[in-house]
Amino acid sequence: MIKQVSDSDNSYGEYGFLGKRRYYAEFEIGNSRYTKYSPYGYEKLQKLPKEYKKTTAIRNNDVVLIECGETENTDNIEKFIENVDLGIPAFLRITRYLKNGDVIITEVEYTKGKYIYRYDSTRAQKNIGVIKKEYPYIITDGNNVYLSNWANWEYKQKYQGEAGQYLFSKSNGEYAVYAVEEAKNIMEKHSQSDTIYNVKIRDEEYYFSEQKAIEQVLKSEKRKEHINTEVVGIMWHDNGEFLIKVVLEDRKEGYIVLYKLYDDKIVEYK
């Protein structure tokens, strides 16, 4: 099988000139774990056995984290973050074995610029089923990595407090240490752009720009003849409502206004 590869990284490469590098690939005919139904080589979450043993999880190429410090397949963490940085679809499954016997499985799939997160607690004493969420960003506090609706750690802490969905930390091994550093670079790239909110309205997911929210709120305030106002804080809620603190020109009087997102519009909530 031969496939043309577009070489456009603006470097000279091993053979001296752009577009002149050589690429090789090997293909093996036969049974494969990479199929139409398992494009990343992983069995679907719902098909995993109820008694999910550590040996099975390791064989399935999960990142295995055992409470007390033992780890397996942690190089997959670094591979996942590297692919995300390159914009390549990627998948990561982390299986945690806790002292009390609980088995917690988390998955994150990166595709089309978003992160699909799944949390499976069906093998834990506190069984809340399987939770699925979507996030636009991956962020870090320098030690732990999370999925978030915010482009950077500072905004997440300032406006929403909790960190989002926890994935892994530096304590998970040397590969995780490198992955945290790479996640920091990814976060810094995204933090240069506008912060995006992810909200769910009538069972539909919406991504909404912080800048657009502020602009529309200020226009609304202007119609009230509040000319020189400034937005100094936002508290976003998943149902589409958000509280926004507005300060007038003299910066002595401030008040909270509740707005609500309807599809692609913001209106003051009465």
Of 175, 193, 211, the one marking the end of a domain is 193
Position 220 scores a pLDDT of: 72
In contact, 175 and 64? CB cutoff 8 Å: no
| Residue 40 clears pLDDT 60, i.e. is over it | yes
113 in the same domain as 65: yes
Give the Å distances, CA to CA, from 73 to 65, 67, 68, 109: 9, 15, 16, 17
210 in the same domain as 182: no
Look at residue 21 and tell me if it is in a domain: no
- What distance in Å separates the CA atoms of residue 71 and residue 60, rounded to the nearest whole number? 14
Query: Which residues are CB-neighbours of 161 under 8 A, at least 6 positions away?
Result: none
Of 193, 226, 245, the one marking the end of a domain is 193
Look at residue 74 and tell me if it is in a domain: yes
Residue that the structure tokens 């995006």 belong to: 196
212 vs 261, more confident:
212
203 in the same domain as 95: no
Of 173, 193, 213, the one marking the end of a domain is 193
Look at residue 6 and tell me if it is in a domain: no
What is the total count of domains within the chain?
A: 2
Instruction: List own/partner pairs for 204-207 with CB under 8 A and 24 or more apart.
Output: 205/134, 206/240, 206/261, 206/263, 206/264, 207/136
The mean pLDDT value for 93-120 works out to 94
203 in the same domain as 156: no
In contact, 130 and 207? CB cutoff 8 Å: no
Look at residue 16 and tell me if it is in a domain: no
In contact, 146 and 162? CB cutoff 8 Å: no
Give the Å distances, CA to CA, from 48 to 43, 129, 209: 7, 14, 38
150 in the same domain as 50: yes
- What distance in Å separates the CA atoms of residue 23 and residue 263, rounded to the nearest whole number? 47
174 in the same domain as 90: yes
Position 136 scores a pLDDT of: 82
Which tokens go with 21? Answer: 């590098």
Position 58 scores a pLDDT of: 96
189 in the same domain as 67: yes
67 vs 163, more confident:
67
Look at residue 24 and tell me if it is in a domain: no
Strand 144-148 with 137-140, pairing: antiparallel
183 in the same domain as 69: yes
Greatest mean pLDDT among 130-139, 159-168, 206-215 lies in 130-139
- What distance in Å separates the CA atoms of residue 39 and residue 42, rounded to the nearest whole number? 8
- What distance in Å separates the CA atoms of residue 151 and residue 154, rounded to the nearest whole number? 9
77 in the same domain as 172: yes
In contact, 156 and 121? CB cutoff 8 Å: no
153 in the same domain as 208: no
**Residue 246 is part of which domain span?**
199-268
Taking alpha carbons only, the member of 159, 172, 196 closest to residue 69 is: 172
Look at residue 87 and tell me if it is in a domain: yes
Look at residue 1 and tell me if it is in a domain: no
102 in the same domain as 83: yes
247 in the same domain as 188: no
The mean-pLDDT minimum among 46-50, 140-144, 209-213, 252-256 falls in 252-256
In contact, 108 and 79? CB cutoff 8 Å: no
This prediction has a pTM of 0.68
Look at residue 37 and tell me if it is in a domain: no
pLDDT band at 14, cuts 50/70/90? very low
